[in-house]
Structure 1
Amino acid sequence: MESFDTDVLVVGAGPAGATTALALATHGVRVHVVSRYNWLADTPRAHITNQRTMEVLRDLDIEDEAYRYATPWKLMGDSLFTTSLAGEELIRIRAWGTGEERKGDYLQGSPCELLDIPQPLIEPVLYKNAAERGATFACNTEYLSHVQDEDGVTVSLRDRLTDREYTMRARFLVGADGAKSKVLDDLGLQVEGQMVRAGTTYAIFNADLTRYVEHRPSILHWIVTPNAAFGEIGFGLLRAVKPWTQWIAGWGIDLAKGEPDVSDEFVLKQIRILVGDPDLDVEIVRTSVWYVNQAYAPQYSKGRVFCAGDAVHRHPPSSGLGLNTCVQDAFNLAWKLAYVVKGHAGRGLLETYSAERAPVGKQIVKRANQSRLDYAPIKAVFRVEGADNPVEAGIARFKDPGPEGIKAREAAQAALELKNREFNAQGVEMNQRYASSAVVPDAAGGEEVWKRDPELYLQATTRPGAKIPHAWLIDRRGRKVSTLDVTGKGKFSLVTGIAGQAWVQAAQDLDLPFLRTVVTGREGTLDAYCTWQRMREIHEAGALLVRPDGYIAWRQTGPMLDAEEARRQLGEAIAMVLDRN
């Protein structure tokens, strides 16, 4: 039998690569990560961490550690539109589910809150825990090329410190090497869409702005000023990195005019204008130009090589979907690789990665870019085109007591409602539905009927292809545990009720090392609130087969009393999902 240097080699140590490593190491799979950089992210890029990503961190046992480094949900607050941070406030958007109208939806939908964790803080958490669980890492190591064959992948690498070139042999290769992915290019996979569609100047700076924010906590402030009125969004940005002493300032640029002015003198002036303090003591940490992309790959893999994260979906940070989608790509892929490496599944399981995640990538690229376009109605509220100073005239009109002012304020109301699709889009973040050979459709079939707007609202369901709904159960010590806590953790879960003894016997008879049985209603998983009984959409003697990533692979909605028939149905479902035929 061939000896491999590692089971899985991952190129890139960002959110997708590090999560892949952490999940694989947690599953007991040998994984080696290479990164061309000396260390991890050193600029606060992605920061909004949504509930589904927090559920992934919870499953990987690092949720509590993430909380230690994050700005908590309660401080993420509204998104404000002001003439400057110190200046007049104009409107607010209730954001991140913290508003009175939506907070209950978020609390009911998941055991996890949203958090604000800038990338330089979450990456070391992923990296450290992956290493502690057995993953190995090599920084300053550049991926050069790969050749795959029927048995594995030979990867050529270069040590950037010594210039030594060498090869490693792996069963599988994962390209998590970012928006300029060489692994993706080497595979010949195409990216559809438009790159460099718009641009923004970002400046990271240190300044104590507590006096402007502490009484109205918010991580995101939009500044309505003529000095930052260019571009698709048309407002200046102040985003908290470390409340309330480190910030990012941003403003749109005109790509037709070439490279923007990023001199310290100009950037300092812009920061002071956005804050509204001409004498503000500012330490500029770094200035960069960031470009807006709208591109996605229709296919994520070929043979034994897989791509994840920004390599396959490239978009702006609007809607906060970037890091979240990277982490969720990795979580989907890792358990499948682990099951194939361990011999629990056939190679066909790996084909479901692209089938399930590529539609999600396309969706979030379109949603993130649409979120930028959806600022247009707000911009129109605070603009009077043709005026000597359109922004100042727009603000004056907004405050006018006459008919034009009434119209502007009514337009502001409609514009804020539209922005719920960015700032309170629990459905966008949580309503992913998978369709692949790793999901067995209901025998009855039929399309899912959405009871409310699927972008705004989570629709919990036990339909195959959906994530298992969250409901609180009670453990043996009287503590609340989620349905997500008694499933996952690298195993398939057969979920039934007290009446489902035929399913319990069927699982025992199959005797599969990766299958656990969860009987809701009995001691340890007591359905004390009867919430799960209300949500499960199946008979108490029915069953759900839940995958390691929390998604439902198969269900039997009706009662089953015959253990032999239950064993046959369950065995066939597992064989189909895992390509064990």
Structure 2
Amino acid sequence: MADMTTDVLIIGTGPAGSACAALLSSYGIENMAVNRYRWLANSPRAHITNQRTMEVLRDLGPEVEAEAYMHATEQDLMGTNVFCESLTGEELGRIQTWGNHPNSRAEHQLSSPSKMNDLPQTFMEPLLFKTACARGTQARMSCEYQSHEADAEGVTTTILDRLTGKTFAVRSKYLVGADGGNSLVAEHIGVPIEGKMGVAGSINLLFKADLTAHVAHRPSVLYWVMQPGSNVGGIGMGVVRMIRPWNDWMAIWGYDIDGERPELTDDEAKKIIRDLVGDPELEIEMQSISYWTVNDAYATEMSKGRVFIMGDAAHRHPPSNGLGSNTSIQDAFNLAWKLAMVLKGQAGEGLLDSYNAERAPVAKQIVTRANKSIGEFGPIFEALGLIGHTDPDVMQANMEKRCESTDEAEAQREALRQAIAFKKYEFDAHGVEMNQRYRSDAVVADGQAEPGFEADPELHYQPTTWPGARLPHVWLYDGHGAKHSTLDLTKGGFALLTGLSGQAWADAAVKVAEQLGIKLSAYVIGPRQTLVDHTGDWARAREIGDGGCVLVRPDHHVAWRSGGASDTAQADLLRVLSAVLST
């Protein structure tokens, strides 16, 4: 006998779990979120927040998006990644990152209504959790998942109340495991995990210090410091990461994963920080010392029956590229609307199979990319003459050779410039963040071949209305002159976009929405209509004729499109939506 019942039980209240809860509550779905701790994130581990994630927050409401910007460090101050011998020492080079190069900035501004920013997990997580609870999520803190049993009708989950030491049972129709990189839910449903956990060891040193004089003139999120001989492997690379400008910081340092984990004292931690900064007298206020491992593993399946996993439970990787919390929140955006429509009887359970088909490839992609980015530091080390040596004096001398006026030094400088510039694949990989194209039964092909990429798909986003792709963002204007992103048109349901010659599609949408009992908003875009394409940007982006239509899912991805008008618009639309919704 269950002690409590709910529609969806979510294990974990990190970015994935809290986003899932907030979205479900926004859709009117009863849910409960369980957290084994007394409160939320106690360290600002995840921080890079890309445009796609901000679009999810925008979908939750303008007040949610606005509060995120209020707490975030803006894109301009994310600045340039700096490579140096210490913050006070010689700079080795820098690269404009996170959309701050003028060419990249233009691409960012054209591709989304939302802005990239730096929002530490200690701010993101409470924002999502607060939104969830304010909209109806039942939260249970200090409660730990123990096990579950799934059957044809639902899932019974055993939870330990860590305050009383007693267990209780929750009966739900679905269970979501957002319980992190050591997910018990993933283990208990036996999803296959490919790769390896614990490939390297790292230490986070959270501290406060005024570093304004060393960094304000070259704002950045990350300062990469190289001091040969000072740490694991002898290369001596550490990171000074900005948490808040310019007084709140984290130093990241490595340790030998094959040896005994060190237990640093505050004094030892301060010594590492002062060396990285290059100021032996720096006044430091230590906040915390924590240890973590670099992982290289992903789930090849993200669901089993009525149980789903998301976030770090499914993709376990280093923080390279800043993909962790972003992908976690986007997992939730993909699954939540599907759960909501199934629970409301608007879709068949087959719709839920598309979550695995669409998000498991993303898990593999981002784990592969994040670990590849670590390896791409190699050319920098090689250009500096750090590879193949263990003597720090030799390594330091090799670094200094680049300052000579010889042919060899000129070649070394060029190699270093190219190696640093190549790190755009980690620090400005807009395509990795935005080019996800889904293939599943929740997408209906239109018979057109998938468009190729005109530029490197890891670096550059290519908008397309090809079914499965994210709807291109353009600004449309209402009768009062206010602008609206195309992405805003799907809020809380499906949307159909057509032109003046496609009125039949709009009329059909109204009838099909009533037949299926779903929210399907139809927009005729053109002169004297509710939305006008004054700039012509939508006409250029839509890739269909004026009499065609683009059908968009609640998560902004194109479900289907028609190139032109149809004499059987209602039947066509009913067929497509019935397939997408598995009804």
What band does the TM-score fall into relative to the shorter chain? over 0.9
Alignment of 1:313-332 (within 5 A): 313-332=315-334
Kindly indicate whether the alpha-carbon contact (under 8 Å) linking 2:229 and 2:235 is maintained by their aligned counterparts in 1: no
Shift in alpha-carbon separation, 1:261–1:143, aligned structure 2, 3 A: closer
Q: Distance in 2 between matches of 1:399 and 1:476?
A: 62
What's 1:520 paired with?
525
SS in 2 for 1:500: helix
SS in 1 for 2:495: strand
Residue in structure 1 matching 2:427, options 423, 430, 448: 423
Q: Which moved more, 1:344-353 or 1:286-295?
A: 286-295
1:386-409 deviation line (CA, Å, top 9, x unaligned): 465244223211222211211111
Alignment of 1:301-340 (within 5 A): 301-340=303-342
- Note the C-alpha offset of 1:109: 1.0
Q: Which moved more, 1:287-296 or 1:309-318?
A: 287-296
What's 2:508 paired with?
506
Find out whether 1:49 has 2:55 as its counterpart.
Answer: no
Q: Which moved more, 1:370-379 or 1:233-242?
A: 233-242
Kindly indicate whether the alpha-carbon contact (under 8 Å) linking 2:222 and 2:239 is maintained by their aligned counterparts in 1: yes
With normalisation by structure 1, the TM-score equals: 0.96
Find out whether 1:441 has 2:428 as its counterpart.
Answer: no
SS in 2 for 1:484: helix
Task: Give the letter for the 1:520 counterpart.
Answer: I
SS in 2 for 1:144: strand
What's 1:21 paired with?
21
- Note the C-alpha offset of 1:35: 0.8
SS in 2 for 1:284: strand
- Note the C-alpha offset of 1:227: 5.2
Find out whether 1:260 has 2:262 as its counterpart.
Answer: yes
What's 1:11 paired with?
11
Q: Distance in 1 between matches of 2:241 and 2:101?
A: 19
1:481-510 deviation line (CA, Å, top 9, x unaligned): 1111122x2200011112111101111222
Q: Distance in 2 between matches of 1:36 and 1:540?
A: 53
Kindly indicate whether the alpha-carbon contact (under 8 Å) linking 1:233 and 1:373 is maintained by their aligned counterparts in 2: no
SS in 2 for 1:41: coil
Find out whether 1:473 has 2:479 as its counterpart.
Answer: no
What's 1:223 paired with?
225
What's 2:416 paired with?
412
Q: Which moved more, 1:60-69 or 1:502-511?
A: 502-511
Q: Which moved more, 1:8-17 or 1:245-254?
A: 245-254
Q: Distance in 2 between matches of 1:388 and 1:289?
A: 26
- Note the C-alpha offset of 1:267: 1.3
Kindly indicate whether the alpha-carbon contact (under 8 Å) linking 2:450 and 2:466 is maintained by their aligned counterparts in 1: no
Q: Which moved more, 1:471-480 or 1:381-390?
A: 381-390
Q: Distance in 2 between matches of 1:282 and 1:231?
A: 27
Find out whether 1:397 has 2:401 as its counterpart.
Answer: yes
Q: Distance in 2 between matches of 1:503 and 1:220?
A: 50
- Note the C-alpha offset of 1:257: 3.4
Find out whether 1:115 has 2:138 as its counterpart.
Answer: no
- Note the C-alpha offset of 1:477: 2.1
Shift in alpha-carbon separation, 1:232–1:359, aligned structure 2, 3 A: farther
Shift in alpha-carbon separation, 1:232–1:75, aligned structure 2, 3 A: farther
Find out whether 1:359 has 2:358 as its counterpart.
Answer: no
Kindly indicate whether the alpha-carbon contact (under 8 Å) linking 2:228 and 2:235 is maintained by their aligned counterparts in 1: no
What's 1:67 paired with?
69
- Note the C-alpha offset of 1:475: 2.2
Shift in alpha-carbon separation, 1:51–1:390, aligned structure 2, 3 A: farther
Task: Give the letter for the 2:372 counterpart.
Answer: Q
State the aligned residue count: 574
SS in 2 for 1:438: coil
SS in 2 for 1:9: strand
1:217-251 deviation line (CA, Å, top 9, x unaligned): 11110012125453598521000011111111112
- Note the C-alpha offset of 1:206: 0.7
Task: Give the letter for the 1:331 counterpart.
Answer: F
* Runs of 4+, deviation exceeding 6 Å: none
What's 1:462 paired with?
465
Q: Distance in 2 between matches of 1:441 and 1:4?
A: 42
Shift in alpha-carbon separation, 1:347–1:233, aligned structure 2, 3 A: farther
Q: Distance in 2 between matches of 1:534 and 1:486?
A: 18
What's 1:191 paired with?
193
What's 1:155 paired with?
157
Kindly indicate whether the alpha-carbon contact (under 8 Å) linking 1:222 and 1:238 is maintained by their aligned counterparts in 2: yes
- Note the C-alpha offset of 1:526: 1.1
Residue in structure 1 matching 2:214, options 212, 215, 220: 212
Find out whether 1:550 has 2:556 as its counterpart.
Answer: yes
Kindly indicate whether the alpha-carbon contact (under 8 Å) linking 2:202 and 2:292 is maintained by their aligned counterparts in 1: yes
Superposition RMSD on alpha carbons, in Å? 1.6
What's 2:87 paired with?
85
What's 2:541 paired with?
535
1:131-183 deviation line (CA, Å, top 9, x unaligned): 11111100000111111111111111111101121111111110101111111
Percent identical pairs in the alignment equals: 48
Shift in alpha-carbon separation, 1:261–1:182, aligned structure 2, 3 A: closer
- Note the C-alpha offset of 1:211: 1.4
1:178-217 deviation line (CA, Å, top 9, x unaligned): 1111111111112110111111222001111111122221
Q: Distance in 1 between matches of 2:439 and 2:213?
A: 50
Alignment of 1:96-175 (within 5 A): 96-175=98-177
Q: Distance in 2 between matches of 1:270 and 1:436?
A: 49
Task: Give the letter for the 1:456 counterpart.
Answer: L
1:20-67 deviation line (CA, Å, top 9, x unaligned): 000000000001001111100011101000010011111111111101
Unaligned runs of 5+ in 2: none
What's 2:348 paired with?
346
Find out whether 1:432 has 2:436 as its counterpart.
Answer: yes
Task: Give the letter for the 2:123 counterpart.
Answer: L
Q: Distance in 2 between matches of 1:526 and 1:228?
A: 61
Kindly indicate whether the alpha-carbon contact (under 8 Å) linking 2:510 and 2:520 is maintained by their aligned counterparts in 1: no
Shift in alpha-carbon separation, 1:213–1:524, aligned structure 2, 3 A: farther
Q: Distance in 2 between matches of 1:51 and 1:468?
A: 14
SS in 2 for 1:102: helix
Unaligned runs of 5+ in 1: none
Q: Distance in 2 between matches of 1:233 and 1:6?
A: 53
- Note the C-alpha offset of 1:3: 12
Kindly indicate whether the alpha-carbon contact (under 8 Å) linking 2:228 and 2:392 is maintained by their aligned counterparts in 1: no
SS in 2 for 1:485: helix
Kindly indicate whether the alpha-carbon contact (under 8 Å) linking 2:231 and 2:255 is maintained by their aligned counterparts in 1: no
Residue in structure 1 matching 2:455, options 452, 455, 467: 452
Kindly indicate whether the alpha-carbon contact (under 8 Å) linking 1:233 and 1:372 is maintained by their aligned counterparts in 2: no
Task: Give the letter for the 2:537 counterpart.
Answer: T
1:234-293 deviation line (CA, Å, top 9, x unaligned): 521000011111111112222233223512222111100111111000011111222110
Q: Distance in 1 between matches of 2:550 and 2:493?
A: 14
Q: Distance in 2 between matches of 1:370 and 1:475?
A: 45
Kindly indicate whether the alpha-carbon contact (under 8 Å) linking 2:10 and 2:178 is maintained by their aligned counterparts in 1: yes
Alignment of 1:244-255 (within 5 A): 244-255=246-257
Shift in alpha-carbon separation, 1:367–1:231, aligned structure 2, 3 A: farther
What's 2:486 paired with?
483
